[in-house]
Amino acid sequence: MKGRLLTRFLRTLATQLFRVGNQRTINLHPVALFDRFLRDALLRRAYPNDAQDVLEFGRFRFLPEARGLEMDGKPVELKAREYELALFLFQNMGRLLSRDHLREVIWGHSAEVISRSLDTHVSRLRSLLDLRPANGYMITAVYGVGYRFEAVKPTAEQTASGSASQAQ
């Protein structure tokens, strides 16, 4: 009984949306519409920070509306893909992200061809944002899988060596 009511409700909703002229829902089956609604709701619940104006992660501050990044209060010049990759890595801190997943999210497709573009972007982010253990963050390459971005506590030895290398 519940299934029939839900199906009837979704058909009515789809019909109303079609009459309004919402082009996005014209070709959707009612069940697909409901699935999309549930998926969007789950994503909003899993990633509540997406709705904020400014995202702060320690010394890094993301400005989504301006698509800008500040490090220690100073703006960092990033290309569009570098910004998207940095934001995605910070939002998924501690998670192991496969290369295919990163390509789909950042480039919008899964590359069947082996490309070093992702590796180049990650390397460039490491140097631009100074992502190393002495500064509290690091990107670890996991062989055959992808990357993991982690917040780490710098040891006294790493902090001393980091400040000594910056002084030179």
The 3 state secondary structure assigned to 29-57 is CHHHHHHHHHHHHHHHHHCHHHHCCCEEE
- Rounded Cα–Cα distance for residues 18 and 25 (Å): 7
The whole-number pLDDT of residue 106 equals 87
Q: List pLDDT tens digits, range 86-145.
A: 999 999 999 999 998 898 888 887 666 567 889 999 999 999 999 989 889 999 999 989
Residues 51, 56, 62, 63: is their CA dihedral positive or negative? positive
Find out whether 135 and 154 touch, Cβ atoms under 8 Å: yes
The whole-number pLDDT of residue 162 equals 54
Average pLDDT on 160-166 reads: 53
Is residue 79 very low, low, confident or very high in pLDDT (cuts 50, 70, 90)?
very high
Q: How many Å from the N-terminal Cα to the C-terminal Cα in the chain? A: 75
The whole-number pLDDT of residue 71 equals 92
The whole-number pLDDT of residue 25 equals 46
Q: What are phi and psi of 135, to 5 degrees?
A: -105, 5
Q: List pLDDT tens digits, range 22-66.
A: 445 445 566 666 676 677 667 767 766 555 578 888 899 998 888
The pTM for the full model equals 0.62
